Each structure stands twice: as structure tokens, then as C-alpha cells.
Amino acid sequence: MATMADVARHAGVSVATVSHVLNDTRVVRPATRQAVLDAIEVLGYTPNTLARSLVTSRTRSIGLAVSAISNPYFTEIVQGVEAGALEQGYSLLIADPHDDPEHERKVVQLLHERRVDGMIVAPSAAPGALVAYLTRHEVPTVILDRLLDTPSESTSSDSTPRFDQVCAENTEPMARLVAHLTALGHERVGLVAGRPGLSTTTERITGYRIGLAFAGLPHDERLVVHGDSESEGAERATAALLSLAAPPTALVTANNTMTIGALRAVRERGLTVPDDLALCCFDDFAWADLFSPGLTAMAQPAKDIGAQAVRLLLDRLADPDRPTRTVRLPCTFVHRESCGCAGRRGRQSRPANFPKAEKGPVS
């Protein structure tokens, strides 16, 4: 088995230079670096990562705790995290907390005990035990998709979050969907919201209310139901909306899984989209354009969110004392036919005539 010394002799460099190339601990001239890489390839040298971790106190591994990994949205996030980690020479350990606060803490503890260098976590609706563990053990952590703190600016301030965070914009994109439906003449727009306690749920409900206010429509609490971010919950919630004495004529679903449940409830009542009920959904997914009609959706940049989480974590590992950051990425409006606009397809940054929404709740 080839050793680092063998690589150094073959490349005509010192063992220290080989180490710098492998660990990116010093700038090496391109020609010298290539000679080392060629020697590694020829000799079939495999670095001893265990020995290296004992010397550097780093395992070059990242722990990722994300629930509902089978959800296409989170699958794309995982792909983004994996690609970003691999590009930087990091391995990935993945666990599913199942959106359960106690299991979430245990999962994070197990990842930490595997000596990962840092953690990327999508927290549950009650993350108190998780936060306490990460804080007590000073684990470098990036909060993913569901924020723990939502300061008004992405830079540090009096409301600076305890961890770096990354997610998509939620409030304004939801307001755009509602405004699009009201512009088509709908005055009773229902919302199937996600699990209470999640920042995404809170922000999307706020966006829903902003969209109604933009159209000059009142907020009717009976038109907001919670599908708990799951298909079955959304099916029950949508059935309740459709059973109202004055049911909505249009519906917005707050994630892709709940869209499936809502469509199932619509079908069970013998209704069709968009003839009986216009529909827009938060989250686009690979087969949304295969539905008949195609689903008008707000697409989140899932892979970019995952890649950005890795960048934030590696920045934190390189500089533990840097100010925390909250990064929000824009969504894209995907115009299909479920909203009732027959024959209109394409990706737009913003529906026509809808201005940038002001942030914050509307009373």
C-alpha cells in the first residue's frame, strides 16, 4: 500500500508539500499540486482520514438532520448539501428526526458523538431541547429551511440569531400567489397552512394575509386551516374548507405534500380544478406539470438552499467568531393552468402587477 512518503518521492517533493495538497493547509504552486495529484493517481494512494482526524481534530464530515427526506423538496435540499460537501472534500452523515422534538435531540447527539465537524439541521416546531444541546456543546451549526430566529436584516443586530441560517423567502412569495388568485376575481381564497410552530408556517400565513390586504379583501379565519405539512392532514383540512356554507373558490396549499392531500379531497367531492376550484401551491416538484391541469406553483431553490448551508457552515468552521448570518433565497413563480389561466405556462420572477410586499404581519 502506497504511503505519503511514496507519493512525495514520485512527485519529487517533500512529505510536507503532499500534506499541504491533501489538506489545503497552504497554497501550493499549480504545477507542483498537479504533480502530487498525478502521483496519487499513479500509486493509488488513499489518505488515512482516521489518522488525519487524530492530528487535526477534524473528521471532514458534516451531520445533516432533516425530516421527511422522502419529500421531493427535502430530497433536493439533501442533494444540494451533498454536492456542496463533496466539492469541499467533506463526507455527509444523514439522519431523519421525524419532526419529533425528543427524537430530534437524540439524532443530533448521535451525530455529534460521531465527531462531525459541524451540523446542518432543519428543526422541529418545538426545538428547545435541540437548541439547548447545540448551545451547551458549542456545535457549529446551520439552521436549514425552518428558522429559529427571524431578524429583520440578514446581518447581525440586536436580534441576531444564535446560529447561521438559510431558507427561501416565504412571506412575499405567498402574497404573490394570493394576489394572483384575487386578480382573477376570487374573493374567497382558502389556505391550507403547514404545521403550527414552524417559521415557514407563520411566514406563509403572514404572506397570505398580505395578499388579501393588497386586494382589499378581509381576512376570514375560517378560510385558514392547518394540514400539519402532511398529505393526510391536508386532505382532512381541505375537506373541512369545502364543507363550509360559503366554501372558497380558490385555494393555496403551503407545501407540495399538502397539495397532494388537497387534490385528493377535491376529487373525493367530485370537483375539478380549476373549473370548480382554482389552485396554487407553494413548492414546485418534478411532476407538477404532468398533472391535468398543470399546477401553478411557487418554486423554492432547494438545491441552492442546501449548497448555501454548506458554505455557511464551512465559513463558521474557518472563523468561529464571525457574526451569524441569516440568508434568504428568492422563489420563482411557475405559471401553469390550475389557477384558471388556460394555456399560460412559464417561469416568472413575479406575477404581473404585484409590487414587492412589505415584510411583517398585517392586522
CATH topology of domain 61-168+302-329: Rossmann fold (3.40.50)
116: three-class secondary structure by DSSP: coil
CATH 3.40.50.2300 in the chain, residue ranges: 61-168+302-329, 171-295+336-348
Q: How confident is the model at residue 51 (pLDDT cuts 50, 70, 90)?
A: low
Q: Which residues make beta-bridge pairs with 121?
A: 65, 143
Class of domain 171-295+336-348 as given by CATH: alpha beta
User: Greater confidence, 56 or 252?
Assistant: 252
Cβ neighbours for 189, distance < 8 A, ≥ 6 positions apart: 178, 181, 182, 208, 211, 212, 217, 223, 248, 249, 250, 251, 252
Distance between terminal CA atoms of the chain? Answer: 70
Phi first, then psi, for residue 225 (nearest 5°) are -130, 160
Measure the CA–CA gap between 165 and 149, rounded to whole angstroms. 9
318 by Cβ neighbours in 10 Å (0-12 / 13-18 / 19+) ranks as exposed
Class of domain 4-47 as given by CATH: mainly alpha
| pLDDT > 70 fraction of the chain, expressed in percent and rounded | 87
* pLDDT, position 358: 41
Residue of 145, 175, 168 whose CA lies nearest to 350: 175
Q: What is the pLDDT of residues 234-252, one digit of tens each?
A: 999 999 999 999 999 999 9
Q: What is the pLDDT of residues 65-98, one digit of tens each?
A: 998 777 889 999 999 999 999 998 899 999 999 9
* pLDDT, position 357: 43
What's the pTM?
0.80
Measure the CA–CA gap between 128 and 136, rounded to whole angstroms. 12
E strand or H helix that includes residue 203: helix 199-214
Our measurement of the distance from residue 262's CA atom to the centroid of its chain's CA atoms, rounded to an integer in Å, reads 22
- With beta carbons less than 8 A apart as the criterion, state whether 187 and 218 touch: no
- With beta carbons less than 8 A apart as the criterion, state whether 327 and 154 touch: yes
Write the Ramachandran bin of 56: left for phi over 0, alpha for psi from -120 to 50, otherwise beta: alpha
Cβ neighbours for 231, distance < 8 A, ≥ 6 positions apart: 257, 258, 260, 261, 264
Cβ neighbours for 121, distance < 8 A, ≥ 6 positions apart: 64, 65, 66, 104, 108, 130, 134, 141, 142, 143, 144
